[in-house]
């Protein structure tokens, strides 16, 4: 588990995790907040679940404590928002 201090670090971690589950042929694609995970980044259903658990591992929080569910995450911006909330929760419990 890493300790993230800034919004930029959180976003960089999100982008890194997204690239881990994206199709290899999109490796050089620029990623923006408005992009849809499935439609634009080719992340399939298992990729979404893997992403959720990676966040749990990275930020040391329990996904079940978050009102935003995996099923509600559609765009990159949603993922960044979830990661930021998780970081704040991890800091509070530290």
Where do contacts with another protein occur on this chain (CB under 8 A)? Answer: 23, 26, 36, 38-46, 48-50, 53-54, 57, 63-64, 70-72, 74-75
The residues, ordered by sequence, that sit 6+ positions from 18 with a Cβ below 8 Å of its Cβ are 31, 37, 41, 43, 51, 76, 79
CB of 44 to another protein, least distance (A): 5
Residue 31 backbone dihedrals phi, psi, to 5 degrees: -110, 130
Give whichever of 6 and 28 is closer to another protein, judged by the CB atom. Answer: 28
Give whichever of 4 and 51 is closer to another protein, judged by the CB atom. Answer: 51
CB of 52 to another protein, least distance (A): 9
Report the largest interatomic distance among the alpha carbons of the chain, rounded to a whole angstrom: 39
């Amino acid at each position: 588990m890493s300790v993230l201090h800034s919004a930029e670090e959180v976003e960089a971690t999100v982008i890194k995790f997204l690239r881990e589950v994206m199709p290899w042929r999109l490796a050089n694609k620029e990623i923006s907040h408005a992009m849809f995970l499935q439609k634009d980044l080719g992340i399939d259903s298992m990729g979404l679940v893997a992403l959720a658990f990676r966040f749990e591992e990275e930020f040391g929080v329990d996904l079940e404590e978050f009102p935003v569910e995996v099923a509600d995450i559609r765009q990159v911006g949603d993922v960044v928002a979830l990661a930021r909330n998780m970081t704040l929760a991890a800091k509070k419990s530290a």
